[in-house]
Amino acid sequence: GALVYQYPRRTICKSGTSMRMECQAVGFQATSVAWYRQSPQKTFELIALSTVNSAIKYEQNFTQEKFPISHPNLSFSSMTVLNAYLEDRGLYLCGARVMGFQNTLYFGAGTRLSVL
């Protein structure tokens, strides 16, 4: 099956600092990557959708200035949370789409961000 690894699994940062998280597709090529944030109440917010050879599309309330994303190849994506504050806490999930299975997202276990 398709495997997606996210690193780190957990991170704590001081308010106002930044942290970078990574998403690695193992054994397949991800035609697109969707970054979500899951709140402690389990609700999902789509941050952005990154498709190979296309511009990254950010959802309302999320900007490139705050959540810059890098998607250099078909197996790797990274996202940085800049100037993190309490409201940025949550589980950041990376979901990858496999060529030929465009409707399905294969998720990693997420990066849990805590902000002090």
Partner 1 sequence: SQLAEENPWALSVHEGESVTVNCSYKTSITALQWYRQKSGEGPAQLILIRSNEREKRNGRLRATLDTSSQSSSLSITATRCEDTAVYFCADNTNTGKLTFGDGTVLTVKP
Decide whether 12 or 15 has the Cβ nearer to partner 1: 12
> Which burial class, exposed, middle or buried, applies to 32 when counting CB atoms under 10 A from its CB (0-12, 13-18, 19+)?
buried
3 state SS for 61-88: CCCCCCCCEEEEECCEEEEEECCCCHHH
Decide whether 15 or 39 has the Cβ nearer to partner 1: 39
Decide whether 19 or 35 has the Cβ nearer to partner 1: 35
How far from each other are the two terminal CA atoms of the chain, in whole angstroms? Answer: 37
Contact window for partner 1 (CB under 8 A) among 13-21, 28-36, 60-68, 77-85: 28-36
Site string for partner 1, 88-107 (x = CB under 8 A): -----x-x------xxxxxx
Among 42, 55, 86, 87, binds partner 1 (CB under 8 A): 42
Residues 51 to 90: which contact partner 1 by CB under 8 A? none
Rounded CA-CA distance 37/33 in Å is: 13
Which residues share a beta bridge with 81?
19
Binding interface with partner 1 (CB under 8 A): 4, 6, 32, 34, 36, 41-44, 46, 49, 93, 95, 102-110
